[in-house]
């Protein structure tokens, strides 16, 4: 919404905007007149800004943290170059920092691998209306995160843009964004940690504001996913009430996370804590997130005696339900990954206590997470 707001002339106000680091980095980068824009760990900001800045009449360097300089952006750069954008790698091929000349004006037709991050595809979609003739994107291979593409399409349509996504073809017509004041739904990914707590604490009632039953977010699949784990979802106006306590069957849990990869860590930790074996597929993109999330899950859950198996490419992750000897006084490493901190913190429920290193990494997406845990009755202390 920040990118679309910047591309529009309407001056619409955005209500219920996230207070996360990612939001602040992106908003500041859009406002600042600077030859260098540093977006830290904000991967979404890196992808969206690469496309957005290509259309602006300025030359800038877009950079980020050391980890950001390792995360691939090549497929997006290739697509933008095919349209005529002037982008140069300043250090490693395929990664930030990028020298972006700007001035991209004409649209056209491009082909993009559907197996890459949907953020690359959404970044291209959002600039489509400001390009002469619009933009047509053909997706090759497997499309890994279609729900995020549809979410981008729906938001663009709310802004008056003609956008279609049929089969493997995305078509964006030239036009102007026009928004009235826009209320942004809360984050279903963040809601997953409260579903997790409800599942691990039968008898809980938890109210979460500003979540909609007909959400555009793919992670709203939480409603169905956690039903099998004893959590009931009740929508009341603009709030969601979670109730838990139903008996849970501990049979093999199988799920394809292609459309909701950000829920993988929450589910992996929750199921281990509940003693439910599982096999996940559609987890390939986890290797290139804030950290290698497959390896991180294996290492950190291993400290509690849970031995996860995974293939080299990260296409599947499994746990057989058996538990070995846990370590004493477990310390969780977060690897600069907000989701590692929030997914593992609830293990204090079955194991009594644990320590999370670099705990404030949560500010990337959910700055108030620890304060909200305290509101729920957990005891926190700094070491």
Gyration radius of the chain's alpha carbons:
21
Q: Which residues are catalytic?
A: 262
Q: What are the counts of helices (DSSP H) followed by strands (DSSP E) for the chain?
A: 13, 19
Tokens of 358: 């670099």
CB 134 within 8 A of CB 86: no
Q: At what angle do helices 188-200 and 264-274 cross, to 10 degrees?
A: 0
DSSP structural state of residue 323: B
At a CB cut-off of 8 Å and minimum separation 6, what does 32 contact? none
At residue 68, the 3 state secondary structure works out as helix
Could you tell me if 159 and 178 are in contact, meaning their C-beta atoms sit under 8 angstroms apart? yes
Place of tokens 């990028």: 98
Neighbour tally for 63: CB within 10 Å: 19
* SS3 labels along 188-207: HHHHHHHHHHHHHCCCCEEE
Query: CA–CA separation, 366 vs 22, rounded Å?
Result: 10
């Amino acid at each position: 919404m920040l990118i679309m707001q910047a591309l529009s002339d309407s001056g619409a106000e955005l209500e219920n905007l996230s207070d996360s680091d990612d939001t602040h980095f992106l908003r500041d980068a859009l406002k600042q007149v600077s030859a260098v824009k540093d977006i830290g760990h904000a991967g979404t900001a890196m992808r969206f800004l690469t496309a957005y800045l290509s259309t602006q009449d300025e030359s800038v360097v877009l950079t980020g943290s050391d980890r950001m300089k390792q995360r691939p952006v090549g497929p997006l750069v290739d697509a933008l170059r095919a349209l005529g954008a002037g982008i140069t790698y300043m250090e490693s091929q395929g990664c930030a920092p990028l020298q972006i000349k700007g001035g991209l004006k004409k649209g056209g037709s491009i082909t993009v691998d559907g197996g890459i991050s949907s953020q690359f595809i959404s970044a291209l979609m959002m600039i489509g209306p400001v390009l002469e003739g619009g933009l047509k994107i053909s997706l090759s291979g497997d499309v890994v995160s279609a729900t995020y593409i549809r979410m981008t399409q729906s938001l663009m349509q709310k802004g008056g843009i003609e956008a279609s996504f049929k089969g493997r073809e995305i078509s964006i017509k030239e036009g102007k964004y026009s928004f009235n004041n826009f209320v942004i739904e809360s984050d279903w990914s963040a809601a997953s940690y409260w579903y997790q707590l409800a599942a691990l604490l039968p008898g809980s009632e938890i109210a979460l504001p500003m979540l909609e039953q007909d959400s555009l977010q793919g992670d709203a699949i939480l409603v169905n996913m956690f039903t099998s784990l004893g959590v009931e979802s009740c929508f009341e106006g603009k709030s969601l009430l979670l109730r838990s306590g139903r008996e849970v069957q501990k049979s093999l849990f199988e799920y394809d996370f292609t459309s909701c990869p950000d829920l993988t860590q929450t589910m992996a930790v929750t199921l281990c804590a509940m003693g439910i074996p599982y096999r996940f597929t559609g987890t390939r993109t986890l290797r290139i997130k804030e950290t290698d999330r497959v390896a991180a899950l294996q290492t950190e859950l291993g400290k509690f005696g849970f031995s996860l198996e995974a293939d080299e490419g990260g296409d599947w992750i499994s746990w057989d339900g058996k538990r070995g000897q846990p370590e004493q006084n477990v310390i969780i490493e977060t690897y600069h990954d907000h989701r590692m901190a929030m997914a593992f913190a609830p293990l204090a429920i079955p194991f009594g206590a644990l320590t999370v290193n670099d705990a404030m990494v949560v500010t990337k997406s959910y700055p108030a997470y620890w304060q909200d845990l305290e509101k729920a009755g957990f005891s926190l202390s700094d070491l």
